[in-house]
Homo-oligomer: A and B are copies of this chain.
């Protein structure tokens, strides 16, 4: 089956918004095994829309449209596609009742225009919208070609897709689809080379998406039943984990901070942060997770050298002797954070995020990361080299990711990815 995506909206043609709907629908259709030949954007212009729909219907089995289902006069997607697919629209009392109820809940009254939204296909079918006023529409012409119309608002479109459209397409494709997303620390190329054969499989499929400092591997399985699809997904994810080891940190989570908060909670541990170059980024990510207060109470943003001394007890003499961007200062910050907070674990960062400030032997992007463990008195120390083409944002984001990963590893009793571990009392070498 081949498909085309048509997004309707003048705001897209003016560049007011970026077309995330097209990406979402492309990815979902690919997972259903449906090939997307074209994406189009057209304005709210019936003549141009009709020409496009006729053209697309002549070469593809399925048209997926979003946008143009609103109440205003220039929202004409439904009328236009109905005509092109040889169908008509009629007024649907049930949908009109839902629209009236929706307005009543928000203490407003529908206008005469809103009646337009209650028009539904006669030969085709309506698609219920549980998240807004406009129902979608499903048309099918004599030759079996289909057109699916959904709202343009991404939140409504995605919900209607997941609840109504995807299940119907799965039934049409005679299968059930399940996806899982494995999150992996490290760049796409280093990951892809290790697991290349697993990307060649047709079912489950795997696709890799690169993020800053990490990648997502999305595994999608097609099977006759949901249970089989889930099992196939899970088995493939386990194969990835077996090869990738601890850098594959979790499945179906929004990010590493969520994993860290969960692991700390499971282990009954508290963590503290001491940040210089990242300036609160690690604390902010941890506290972005609901329920973080169970595992995180104290964050120190010691951007000035004096703050490192005053809040974390880092000796001024040490800063002077080793430089504030150094392993010994990072280690002292991590120890100081444990003392000042009473937490079991801490991470500390000091580095050069740039653009200025490079030191001899320490270019922009040099970051010292230390992890303190009050249970053992040990400190883990890593020198990160995050420079090259990276800008300030990128350096800070990747440094924070290393810090979160070190917290995760300390909580789980895993060794750090690299660097050295200092016993209590052991002097801290320059790195």
Interface residues of A (CB under 8 A from B): 12-20, 22-30, 36-43, 48, 52, 55, 207, 209, 273, 275, 277-284, 286-288, 290-293, 296-304, 306-307, 310-311, 340-341, 354-356, 392-393, 396
Contacts and interface: CB of A to CB of B under 8 A. Distances in A.
Contact of A23 (B17, B29, B296): B17
A301 B303 contact: no
A389 to B, nearest CB: 10
A284 B279 contact: yes
A307 B280 CA distance: 16
A18 B15 contact: no
Given A23-B17, A207-B16, A284-B281, A298 B303 contact: yes
Given A287-B279, A298-B303, A207 B23 contact: no
Contacts of A355: 290
Given A16-B207, A304-B298, A393-B288, A22 B36 contact: no
20 contacts: A12-B22, A12-B26, A14-B26, A15-B22, A15-B25, A16-B27, A16-B209, A17-B23, A18-B18, A18-B19, A18-B23, A37-B42, A38-B48, A273-B301, A279-B280, A280-B287, A280-B301, A283-B283, A287-B301, A311-B340
B297 A283 contact: no
A402 to B, nearest CB: 16
Contacts of A16: 27, 207, 209
A277 B290 CA distance: 11
Given A280-B284, A298-B304, 11 more contacts: A13-B37, A15-B24, A38-B41, A40-B40, A283-B303, A287-B303, A290-B354, A297-B304, A298-B301, A298-B303, A298-B310
Closest 5 CB pairs of A and B: A279-B287, A299-B301, A297-B304, A15-B27, A280-B280
A23 B15 contact: yes
A354 B17 CA distance: 29
B19 A290 contact: no
A139 B354 CA distance: 42
Nearest to A279: B287
A300 B301 contact: yes
Contacts of A393: 288
Nearest to A355: B290
B36 A14 contact: yes
Given A39-B40, A300-B300, A301-B287, A281 B279 contact: no
Nearest to A11: B26
A12 B23 CA distance: 7
B19 A307 contact: no
A278 B16 CA distance: 30
Nearest to A342: B306
Contacts of A306: 297
A298 B288 contact: no
A205 to B, nearest CB: 11
Contact of A396 (B24, B40, B41, B288): B288
B40 A12 contact: no
